[in-house]
A and B are shown apart, each in its own frame.
Chain A
Amino acid sequence: MSLLKKTAVPTEEERPRGTWENDSTMDDAQAHRDRTYHIRSSIQQTFSIYLTQMALFSKRKLIYVMLIIAVLIPIIYVLIRDKLNLNLGNVTELSGSGIMGLLLFMFPFLLSICASFLMGSLMPKEFSERSAYMNMALPMSRWAFCLGKYLAGVTIIIGIFVFAYGMAMATAMMDYEYFNGEALAKSMILMLLAILVYTSFAFTMGCVIGRGAGILSFLLFLLVLPMIEFYLGINGNIQMSDLIYMPNLLPDFTCMALGSNGAASSIGFINMIQPQGIDVDDFSMTSIIVSVVWTIGFLLLGMIAVNRREM
Protein backbone atom coordinates (compact mmCIF):
# COMPACT_ATOMS: atom_id res chain seq x y z
CA MET A 1 0.00 0.00 0.00
CA SER A 2 2.83 2.31 0.80
CA LEU A 3 3.99 1.95 -2.77
CA LEU A 4 0.75 3.40 -3.98
CA LYS A 5 0.87 6.20 -1.50
CA LYS A 6 1.73 9.41 -3.21
CA THR A 7 4.12 11.85 -1.60
CA ALA A 8 2.64 15.25 -1.28
CA VAL A 9 4.15 17.77 -3.66
CA PRO A 10 5.77 20.58 -1.62
CA THR A 11 4.26 23.96 -2.04
CA GLU A 12 6.32 26.90 -3.26
CA GLU A 13 6.96 27.98 0.35
CA GLU A 14 7.95 24.46 1.50
CA ARG A 15 10.33 23.79 -1.39
CA PRO A 16 14.00 23.73 -0.21
CA ARG A 17 16.01 26.63 -1.56
CA GLY A 18 19.45 26.33 -3.09
CA THR A 19 22.16 28.70 -2.01
CA TRP A 20 21.86 30.49 -5.31
CA GLU A 21 18.25 31.31 -4.56
CA ASN A 22 18.65 33.00 -1.19
CA ASP A 23 20.42 36.16 -0.32
CA SER A 24 22.59 34.74 2.42
CA THR A 25 26.32 34.66 1.81
CA MET A 26 28.88 32.19 3.11
CA ASP A 27 32.29 33.11 4.37
CA ASP A 28 35.45 31.60 2.86
CA ALA A 29 35.70 28.85 5.48
CA GLN A 30 32.09 27.75 4.97
CA ALA A 31 32.46 27.80 1.21
CA HIS A 32 35.87 26.07 1.45
CA ARG A 33 37.44 28.91 -0.51
CA ASP A 34 40.40 28.92 1.83
CA ARG A 35 41.31 25.38 0.84
CA THR A 36 43.77 24.68 -1.93
CA TYR A 37 43.66 21.32 -3.61
CA HIS A 38 46.71 19.63 -5.08
CA ILE A 39 47.29 16.50 -7.02
CA ARG A 40 48.74 13.92 -4.64
CA SER A 41 52.45 13.31 -4.73
CA SER A 42 53.85 10.46 -6.84
CA ILE A 43 54.56 8.41 -3.71
CA GLN A 44 50.99 8.83 -2.47
CA GLN A 45 49.64 7.95 -5.91
CA THR A 46 51.83 4.84 -6.01
CA PHE A 47 50.69 3.82 -2.54
CA SER A 48 47.01 4.30 -3.46
CA ILE A 49 47.39 2.08 -6.52
CA TYR A 50 49.42 -0.37 -4.43
CA LEU A 51 46.65 -0.73 -1.84
CA THR A 52 43.97 -0.97 -4.52
CA GLN A 53 45.89 -3.73 -6.28
CA MET A 54 46.45 -5.54 -2.98
CA ALA A 55 42.70 -5.51 -2.41
CA LEU A 56 42.19 -6.92 -5.92
CA PHE A 57 44.81 -9.61 -5.28
CA SER A 58 42.92 -10.73 -2.21
CA LYS A 59 40.28 -12.07 -4.62
CA ARG A 60 42.70 -13.96 -6.89
CA LYS A 61 42.30 -17.72 -6.56
CA LEU A 62 45.84 -18.43 -7.80
CA ILE A 63 47.25 -16.91 -4.60
CA TYR A 64 45.21 -19.22 -2.41
CA VAL A 65 46.10 -22.23 -4.54
CA MET A 66 49.78 -21.38 -4.01
CA LEU A 67 49.32 -20.95 -0.26
CA ILE A 68 47.49 -24.28 -0.04
CA ILE A 69 50.34 -25.96 -1.95
CA ALA A 70 52.73 -24.51 0.65
CA VAL A 71 50.56 -25.94 3.44
CA LEU A 72 50.85 -29.34 1.76
CA ILE A 73 54.66 -29.35 2.30
CA PRO A 74 54.54 -30.53 5.95
CA ILE A 75 51.50 -32.74 5.32
CA ILE A 76 53.18 -34.62 2.47
CA TYR A 77 56.42 -34.86 4.43
CA VAL A 78 54.69 -36.31 7.49
CA LEU A 79 52.75 -38.80 5.35
CA ILE A 80 55.75 -40.11 3.44
CA ARG A 81 58.46 -39.55 6.04
CA ASP A 82 58.58 -43.16 7.13
CA LYS A 83 58.40 -44.51 3.62
CA LEU A 84 60.82 -41.98 2.24
CA ASN A 85 64.24 -43.45 1.83
CA LEU A 86 66.50 -40.47 1.61
CA ASN A 87 69.39 -42.64 0.55
CA LEU A 88 69.50 -41.79 -3.13
CA GLY A 89 72.04 -44.27 -4.35
CA ASN A 90 75.17 -43.46 -2.42
CA VAL A 91 73.97 -40.03 -1.47
CA THR A 92 72.45 -39.55 1.93
CA GLU A 93 70.83 -36.25 2.77
CA LEU A 94 71.05 -35.70 6.46
CA SER A 95 71.10 -31.99 7.18
CA GLY A 96 68.10 -29.79 7.92
CA SER A 97 69.03 -27.30 5.22
CA GLY A 98 69.45 -30.14 2.73
CA ILE A 99 65.97 -31.44 3.55
CA MET A 100 64.66 -27.90 3.04
CA GLY A 101 66.24 -27.94 -0.42
CA LEU A 102 64.37 -31.14 -1.22
CA LEU A 103 61.09 -29.76 0.17
CA LEU A 104 61.46 -26.65 -1.97
CA PHE A 105 62.17 -28.76 -5.04
CA MET A 106 59.12 -27.33 -6.85
CA PHE A 107 60.13 -23.70 -6.21
CA PRO A 108 61.37 -22.90 -9.77
CA PHE A 109 58.24 -24.39 -11.37
CA LEU A 110 55.80 -22.70 -8.99
CA LEU A 111 57.58 -19.35 -9.16
CA SER A 112 57.38 -19.51 -12.96
CA ILE A 113 53.63 -20.14 -12.79
CA CYS A 114 52.96 -17.59 -10.08
CA ALA A 115 55.08 -14.76 -11.51
CA SER A 116 54.02 -15.35 -15.11
CA PHE A 117 50.30 -15.57 -14.60
CA LEU A 118 49.97 -13.09 -11.75
CA MET A 119 52.28 -10.39 -13.08
CA GLY A 120 51.82 -11.11 -16.78
CA SER A 121 48.11 -10.45 -16.51
CA LEU A 122 48.30 -7.26 -14.43
CA MET A 123 48.29 -4.69 -17.24
CA PRO A 124 46.49 -6.71 -19.95
CA LYS A 125 43.60 -7.23 -17.51
CA GLU A 126 43.38 -3.48 -16.92
CA PHE A 127 42.82 -2.92 -20.63
CA SER A 128 40.63 -5.96 -21.32
CA GLU A 129 38.33 -5.05 -18.43
CA ARG A 130 38.43 -1.40 -19.51
CA SER A 131 39.35 -0.25 -15.99
CA ALA A 132 42.57 1.31 -17.34
CA TYR A 133 40.50 3.82 -19.30
CA MET A 134 38.95 4.97 -16.05
CA ASN A 135 42.08 4.81 -13.88
CA MET A 136 44.44 6.49 -16.30
CA ALA A 137 42.02 9.32 -16.90
CA LEU A 138 42.46 10.27 -13.23
CA PRO A 139 45.01 12.95 -12.35
CA MET A 140 47.68 10.35 -11.81
CA SER A 141 51.01 9.61 -13.42
CA ARG A 142 51.24 6.42 -15.42
CA TRP A 143 54.62 5.71 -13.80
CA ALA A 144 52.96 5.68 -10.38
CA PHE A 145 50.17 3.52 -11.76
CA CYS A 146 52.61 0.91 -13.11
CA LEU A 147 54.93 1.02 -10.12
CA GLY A 148 52.08 0.63 -7.62
CA LYS A 149 50.77 -2.40 -9.47
CA TYR A 150 54.21 -3.96 -9.79
CA LEU A 151 55.07 -3.46 -6.13
CA ALA A 152 51.76 -4.98 -5.05
CA GLY A 153 52.49 -8.05 -7.21
CA VAL A 154 56.00 -8.39 -5.82
CA THR A 155 54.72 -8.08 -2.24
CA ILE A 156 52.12 -10.80 -2.72
CA ILE A 157 54.57 -13.17 -4.40
CA ILE A 158 57.17 -12.57 -1.69
CA GLY A 159 54.43 -13.33 0.86
CA ILE A 160 53.56 -16.62 -0.85
CA PHE A 161 57.12 -17.88 -1.14
CA VAL A 162 58.27 -16.66 2.25
CA PHE A 163 55.32 -18.63 3.61
CA ALA A 164 56.43 -21.71 1.64
CA TYR A 165 60.00 -21.17 2.83
CA GLY A 166 58.84 -20.94 6.44
CA MET A 167 56.74 -24.06 6.00
CA ALA A 168 59.70 -25.99 4.59
CA MET A 169 61.90 -24.76 7.45
CA ALA A 170 59.32 -25.67 10.08
CA THR A 171 58.91 -29.09 8.48
CA ALA A 172 62.64 -29.73 8.44
CA MET A 173 62.83 -28.67 12.10
CA MET A 174 60.58 -31.59 13.02
CA ASP A 175 63.45 -34.01 12.46
CA TYR A 176 66.58 -31.89 12.27
CA GLU A 177 68.05 -29.56 14.82
CA TYR A 178 71.09 -28.35 12.95
CA PHE A 179 70.97 -26.13 9.94
CA ASN A 180 73.59 -24.52 7.80
CA GLY A 181 72.87 -20.88 8.61
CA GLU A 182 75.09 -19.62 5.81
CA ALA A 183 73.15 -21.69 3.27
CA LEU A 184 69.81 -20.50 4.65
CA ALA A 185 70.82 -16.83 4.41
CA LYS A 186 72.20 -17.29 0.93
CA SER A 187 69.15 -19.12 -0.38
CA MET A 188 66.83 -16.48 1.13
CA ILE A 189 68.69 -13.72 -0.72
CA LEU A 190 68.62 -15.81 -3.90
CA MET A 191 64.89 -16.37 -3.48
CA LEU A 192 64.20 -12.63 -3.18
CA LEU A 193 66.37 -11.90 -6.22
CA ALA A 194 64.60 -14.66 -8.17
CA ILE A 195 61.22 -13.14 -7.35
CA LEU A 196 62.36 -9.67 -8.48
CA VAL A 197 63.81 -11.01 -11.72
CA TYR A 198 60.80 -13.15 -12.64
CA THR A 199 58.17 -10.58 -11.71
CA SER A 200 59.84 -7.72 -13.59
CA PHE A 201 60.15 -9.83 -16.73
CA ALA A 202 56.56 -11.10 -16.63
CA PHE A 203 55.23 -7.62 -15.84
CA THR A 204 57.06 -6.15 -18.83
CA MET A 205 55.82 -8.91 -21.09
CA GLY A 206 52.30 -8.02 -19.99
CA CYS A 207 52.90 -4.32 -20.70
CA VAL A 208 54.45 -4.90 -24.11
CA ILE A 209 52.55 -7.76 -25.69
CA GLY A 210 49.30 -7.73 -23.74
CA ARG A 211 47.25 -10.92 -23.71
CA GLY A 212 49.16 -14.18 -23.74
CA ALA A 213 52.05 -12.68 -21.82
CA GLY A 214 51.54 -15.10 -18.93
CA ILE A 215 51.93 -18.30 -20.91
CA LEU A 216 54.79 -16.82 -22.96
CA SER A 217 56.71 -15.79 -19.85
CA PHE A 218 56.10 -19.21 -18.31
CA LEU A 219 57.48 -21.03 -21.35
CA LEU A 220 60.43 -18.68 -21.64
CA PHE A 221 61.37 -19.09 -17.99
CA LEU A 222 60.90 -22.80 -17.69
CA LEU A 223 61.99 -24.09 -21.07
CA VAL A 224 63.25 -21.72 -23.73
CA LEU A 225 65.81 -19.60 -21.86
CA PRO A 226 67.37 -22.49 -19.85
CA MET A 227 67.54 -24.65 -22.97
CA ILE A 228 69.27 -21.90 -24.98
CA GLU A 229 71.76 -21.38 -22.16
CA PHE A 230 72.33 -25.11 -21.81
CA TYR A 231 72.81 -25.47 -25.58
CA LEU A 232 75.33 -22.62 -25.63
CA GLY A 233 77.10 -24.14 -22.64
CA ILE A 234 77.32 -27.60 -24.20
CA ASN A 235 78.66 -26.16 -27.47
CA GLY A 236 81.26 -24.16 -25.65
CA ASN A 237 79.83 -20.74 -26.59
CA ILE A 238 79.68 -19.95 -22.91
CA GLN A 239 81.38 -21.60 -19.96
CA MET A 240 79.07 -23.74 -17.88
CA SER A 241 80.39 -21.94 -14.82
CA ASP A 242 79.13 -18.66 -16.36
CA LEU A 243 75.56 -19.90 -15.93
CA ILE A 244 75.84 -18.54 -12.39
CA TYR A 245 75.35 -15.06 -13.89
CA MET A 246 72.06 -16.01 -15.61
CA PRO A 247 69.26 -14.42 -13.60
CA ASN A 248 66.62 -16.81 -14.95
CA LEU A 249 68.34 -19.69 -13.11
CA LEU A 250 68.09 -18.02 -9.71
CA PRO A 251 65.26 -20.29 -8.46
CA ASP A 252 67.46 -23.32 -9.21
CA PHE A 253 70.30 -21.72 -7.29
CA THR A 254 67.93 -21.13 -4.36
CA CYS A 255 67.43 -24.90 -4.02
CA MET A 256 71.06 -25.71 -4.75
CA ALA A 257 72.30 -23.27 -2.10
CA LEU A 258 70.42 -25.32 0.47
CA GLY A 259 72.25 -28.46 -0.58
CA SER A 260 69.83 -29.93 -3.08
CA ASN A 261 71.38 -30.93 -6.39
CA GLY A 262 68.23 -30.63 -8.43
CA ALA A 263 65.13 -28.55 -8.83
CA ALA A 264 61.89 -28.71 -10.78
CA SER A 265 63.16 -26.93 -13.86
CA SER A 266 64.86 -27.98 -17.05
CA ILE A 267 68.37 -27.09 -15.83
CA GLY A 268 67.51 -28.42 -12.37
CA PHE A 269 66.58 -31.84 -13.76
CA ILE A 270 69.67 -31.98 -15.94
CA ASN A 271 71.85 -30.99 -13.00
CA MET A 272 70.26 -33.67 -10.85
CA ILE A 273 71.07 -36.42 -13.36
CA GLN A 274 74.48 -35.12 -14.32
CA PRO A 275 75.96 -32.20 -12.41
CA GLN A 276 76.90 -29.67 -15.04
CA GLY A 277 79.34 -27.70 -13.04
CA ILE A 278 77.08 -25.02 -11.64
CA ASP A 279 78.56 -24.15 -8.30
CA VAL A 280 76.38 -21.89 -6.17
CA ASP A 281 79.42 -20.94 -4.14
CA ASP A 282 80.51 -18.93 -7.16
CA PHE A 283 77.48 -16.69 -6.74
CA SER A 284 79.02 -13.30 -6.13
CA MET A 285 78.27 -9.60 -6.03
CA THR A 286 78.51 -9.56 -9.84
CA SER A 287 75.61 -12.02 -10.05
CA ILE A 288 73.58 -9.85 -7.68
CA ILE A 289 74.30 -6.73 -9.77
CA VAL A 290 73.28 -8.58 -12.96
CA SER A 291 69.97 -9.58 -11.32
CA VAL A 292 69.26 -6.07 -10.03
CA VAL A 293 70.08 -4.49 -13.41
CA TRP A 294 67.81 -7.06 -15.11
CA THR A 295 64.96 -6.16 -12.72
CA ILE A 296 65.30 -2.39 -13.09
CA GLY A 297 65.83 -2.64 -16.84
CA PHE A 298 62.76 -4.73 -17.51
CA LEU A 299 60.63 -2.70 -15.12
CA LEU A 300 61.59 0.53 -16.89
CA LEU A 301 60.89 -1.09 -20.27
CA GLY A 302 57.40 -2.07 -19.16
CA MET A 303 56.67 1.35 -17.71
CA ILE A 304 57.87 3.11 -20.85
CA ALA A 305 55.62 0.83 -22.94
CA VAL A 306 52.57 1.79 -20.84
CA ASN A 307 53.57 5.46 -20.84
CA ARG A 308 53.79 5.58 -24.63
CA ARG A 309 50.62 3.63 -25.18
CA GLU A 310 47.82 5.51 -26.86
CA MET A 311 44.52 5.09 -25.10
Chain B
Amino acid sequence: MNRLILPIFAILLICISSIPLEEVDADDDEVIKARVTNDSGYSFTVKEGTAVKIKMISAVDNKGENQGYYDLRAISGTHWSDSSRKVGATSTVNYNDDVDRYEIVPTFYSGYLDVEFQLKTVTYEDSPTKYVIICVVVMIAIAGLVAISGRKPKFE
Protein backbone atom coordinates (compact mmCIF):
# COMPACT_ATOMS: atom_id res chain seq x y z
CA MET B 1 0.00 0.00 0.00
CA ASN B 2 2.87 2.37 0.84
CA ARG B 3 4.26 2.00 -2.64
CA LEU B 4 0.95 3.06 -4.17
CA ILE B 5 0.86 6.44 -2.45
CA LEU B 6 3.42 8.11 -4.73
CA PRO B 7 1.60 7.00 -7.90
CA ILE B 8 -1.60 8.37 -6.35
CA PHE B 9 0.09 11.76 -5.88
CA ALA B 10 1.31 11.62 -9.49
CA ILE B 11 -2.26 11.06 -10.69
CA LEU B 12 -3.38 13.93 -8.46
CA LEU B 13 -0.84 16.22 -10.12
CA ILE B 14 -2.07 15.17 -13.55
CA CYS B 15 -5.68 15.88 -12.54
CA ILE B 16 -4.95 19.31 -11.07
CA SER B 17 -2.72 20.41 -13.91
CA SER B 18 -5.11 19.24 -16.60
CA ILE B 19 -8.03 21.33 -15.35
CA PRO B 20 -6.77 24.81 -16.14
CA LEU B 21 -4.41 23.84 -18.96
CA GLU B 22 -4.74 26.15 -21.92
CA GLU B 23 -2.80 26.08 -25.12
CA VAL B 24 -1.21 29.38 -25.98
CA ASP B 25 0.32 29.93 -29.37
CA ALA B 26 3.90 31.03 -29.18
CA ASP B 27 4.49 34.43 -30.65
CA ASP B 28 7.67 36.07 -31.81
CA ASP B 29 9.28 38.29 -29.25
CA GLU B 30 8.74 41.93 -29.76
CA VAL B 31 11.63 44.01 -28.55
CA ILE B 32 11.32 47.70 -27.96
CA LYS B 33 14.32 49.57 -26.71
CA ALA B 34 14.14 53.01 -25.28
CA ARG B 35 16.66 55.12 -23.49
CA VAL B 36 15.03 57.45 -21.03
CA THR B 37 16.02 59.80 -18.31
CA ASN B 38 14.12 61.05 -15.34
CA ASP B 39 13.15 64.14 -17.27
CA SER B 40 12.31 62.76 -20.68
CA GLY B 41 9.98 59.92 -19.82
CA TYR B 42 8.85 57.37 -22.34
CA SER B 43 5.83 55.24 -22.92
CA PHE B 44 5.61 52.10 -24.94
CA THR B 45 2.75 49.86 -25.88
CA VAL B 46 2.18 46.15 -25.81
CA LYS B 47 -0.42 43.89 -27.30
CA GLU B 48 -3.49 42.97 -25.31
CA GLY B 49 -3.21 39.99 -23.05
CA THR B 50 0.51 39.60 -23.31
CA ALA B 51 3.21 39.81 -20.75
CA VAL B 52 6.21 42.07 -20.92
CA LYS B 53 9.67 41.78 -19.55
CA ILE B 54 11.38 44.99 -18.65
CA LYS B 55 15.12 45.13 -18.41
CA MET B 56 16.65 48.14 -16.74
CA ILE B 57 20.30 48.82 -17.30
CA SER B 58 22.19 51.66 -15.79
CA ALA B 59 23.42 53.82 -18.61
CA VAL B 60 26.17 55.20 -16.39
CA ASP B 61 28.24 52.07 -16.00
CA ASN B 62 26.23 49.93 -18.44
CA LYS B 63 26.74 46.96 -16.20
CA GLY B 64 24.47 44.00 -15.95
CA GLU B 65 24.57 44.12 -12.18
CA ASN B 66 22.24 47.06 -12.27
CA GLN B 67 19.63 45.33 -14.27
CA GLY B 68 16.45 43.59 -13.33
CA TYR B 69 13.94 41.48 -15.19
CA TYR B 70 10.37 41.99 -14.25
CA ASP B 71 7.40 40.55 -15.97
CA LEU B 72 3.82 41.51 -15.68
CA ARG B 73 0.57 40.84 -17.36
CA ALA B 74 -0.81 43.89 -19.00
CA ILE B 75 -4.07 44.68 -17.28
CA SER B 76 -5.62 48.06 -17.69
CA GLY B 77 -5.25 50.32 -14.72
CA THR B 78 -2.72 48.21 -12.87
CA HIS B 79 0.43 49.70 -11.44
CA TRP B 80 3.73 48.01 -11.39
CA SER B 81 6.90 49.07 -9.73
CA ASP B 82 10.12 47.65 -8.52
CA SER B 83 13.51 48.78 -7.43
CA SER B 84 16.93 47.25 -7.20
CA ARG B 85 20.24 48.42 -5.87
CA LYS B 86 20.69 51.46 -8.04
CA VAL B 87 17.69 51.61 -10.27
CA GLY B 88 14.09 52.07 -9.42
CA ALA B 89 11.07 52.51 -11.59
CA THR B 90 7.32 52.69 -11.41
CA SER B 91 5.18 51.89 -14.40
CA THR B 92 1.48 52.31 -15.02
CA VAL B 93 -0.40 50.13 -17.46
CA ASN B 94 -3.30 51.73 -19.31
CA TYR B 95 -5.37 50.77 -22.30
CA ASN B 96 -4.92 53.13 -25.21
CA ASP B 97 -8.02 53.19 -27.42
CA ASP B 98 -6.27 55.04 -30.22
CA VAL B 99 -3.75 52.33 -30.91
CA ASP B 100 -5.79 49.42 -29.51
CA ARG B 101 -2.89 48.39 -27.34
CA TYR B 102 -1.90 48.60 -23.73
CA GLU B 103 0.41 51.39 -22.82
CA ILE B 104 3.06 51.18 -20.16
CA VAL B 105 4.22 54.50 -18.84
CA PRO B 106 7.32 54.37 -16.68
CA THR B 107 7.84 57.08 -14.10
CA PHE B 108 11.07 57.04 -12.22
CA TYR B 109 11.73 57.64 -8.58
CA SER B 110 15.28 56.43 -8.27
CA GLY B 111 17.41 58.07 -5.63
CA TYR B 112 20.22 58.13 -8.14
CA LEU B 113 19.06 60.97 -10.28
CA ASP B 114 22.08 60.86 -12.56
CA VAL B 115 21.26 57.35 -13.64
CA GLU B 116 19.76 56.82 -17.05
CA PHE B 117 17.78 53.77 -17.88
CA GLN B 118 17.58 51.62 -20.89
CA LEU B 119 14.28 49.85 -20.97
CA LYS B 120 13.92 46.77 -23.04
CA THR B 121 10.56 45.16 -23.27
CA VAL B 122 10.05 41.70 -24.59
CA THR B 123 6.52 40.72 -25.30
CA TYR B 124 6.16 37.01 -25.04
CA GLU B 125 3.46 34.44 -24.91
CA ASP B 126 4.76 31.32 -23.35
CA SER B 127 2.76 28.40 -22.11
CA PRO B 128 3.91 26.39 -19.10
CA THR B 129 2.43 23.25 -20.65
CA LYS B 130 5.78 21.64 -21.42
CA TYR B 131 7.01 22.27 -17.87
CA VAL B 132 3.91 20.69 -16.40
CA ILE B 133 4.45 17.70 -18.70
CA ILE B 134 8.07 17.45 -17.47
CA CYS B 135 6.86 17.46 -13.84
CA VAL B 136 4.24 14.80 -14.55
CA VAL B 137 6.69 12.54 -16.44
CA VAL B 138 9.29 12.82 -13.64
CA MET B 139 6.64 12.03 -11.03
CA ILE B 140 5.39 9.00 -12.98
CA ALA B 141 8.96 7.72 -13.47
CA ILE B 142 9.75 8.02 -9.77
CA ALA B 143 6.41 6.53 -8.79
CA GLY B 144 7.17 3.60 -11.12
CA LEU B 145 10.57 3.09 -9.50
CA VAL B 146 9.01 3.09 -6.04
CA ALA B 147 6.35 0.67 -7.24
CA ILE B 148 8.87 -1.85 -8.59
CA SER B 149 11.20 -1.45 -5.62
CA GLY B 150 9.22 -3.91 -3.53
CA ARG B 151 9.38 -6.80 -6.02
CA LYS B 152 10.74 -10.03 -4.73
CA PRO B 153 14.16 -10.71 -6.25
CA LYS B 154 14.43 -13.44 -8.84
CA PHE B 155 16.83 -16.20 -7.96
CA GLU B 156 18.07 -18.21 -10.88
Enumerate chain A interface residues (CB-CB to B < 8 A).
48, 51-52, 54-55, 57-59, 64, 67, 71, 74, 87, 90-92, 94-98, 155-156, 158-159, 162-163, 165-167, 169-174, 176-181, 183-185, 188, 241, 259, 275, 277, 279, 281-282
| Nearest-Cβ distance from residue A50 to partner chain B, whole angstroms | 8
The main secondary structure of chain A at its interface with chain B is helix
Report B61 CB to chain A, min CB distance, Å. Answer: 13
Chain B contact surface mostly? mixed
Contact B71 A180 (CB under 8 A): yes
B24, B85, B146: the one within 8 Å of A57 (CB):
B146
- Give residues 19-64 of B contacting A (CB, 8 Å): 19-22, 24, 49-51, 53, 64
Chain B residues with Cβ below 8 Å from A171 are 16
Contact A170 B73 (CB under 8 A): no
- B residues within 8 Å of A by Cβ? 2-3, 5-6, 9-10, 12-13, 16-17, 19-22, 24, 49-51, 53, 64-65, 67-73, 75, 78-85, 90, 124-128, 131-132, 134-136, 138-139, 142-143, 145-146, 148-151, 153
Alpha-carbon distance A166/B132, docked complex (angstroms): 6
**Which residues of chain A come closer than 8 Å to B148, judged between CB atoms?**
51
On chain A, the residues within 8 Å of B22 by CB distance are 173, 177
With A94-B73, A159-B139 already in contact, the answer to whether A281 and B131 are too (CB < 8 A) is no
Nearest Cβ on chain A to B7's Cβ, whole angstroms: 11
* B71 adjacent to A97 (CB under 8 Å): yes
The answer to whether A173 touches B71 (Cβ under 8 A) is: no
Identify the 8 closest CB pairs spanning chains A and B, nearest first. Answer: A166-B135, A54-B149, A181-B126, A159-B142, A170-B17, A178-B51, A58-B2, A55-B149
Instruction: Give the residues in chain A near B67, CB-CB below 8 Å.
Output: 279, 281
- Assess the B75–A178 pair: CB atoms within 8 A: no
Q: Can you name 11 extra interface pairs (CB under 8 A) apart from A279-B84, A281-B64?
A: A54-B146, A58-B146, A91-B80, A162-B134, A169-B128, A172-B128, A176-B73, A183-B71, A184-B128, A275-B84, A281-B67
**Cβ contact of B85, chosen from A92, A180, A184, A275, cutoff 8 A:** A275
Q: Are A178 and B24 in contact (CB under 8 A)?
A: yes
Chain B residue at minimum C-beta to C-beta distance from A172: B128
Assess the B124–A180 pair: CB atoms within 8 A.
yes
Residues of chain A within 8 A (CB-CB) of B131 are: 169, 179, 181, 184-185, 188
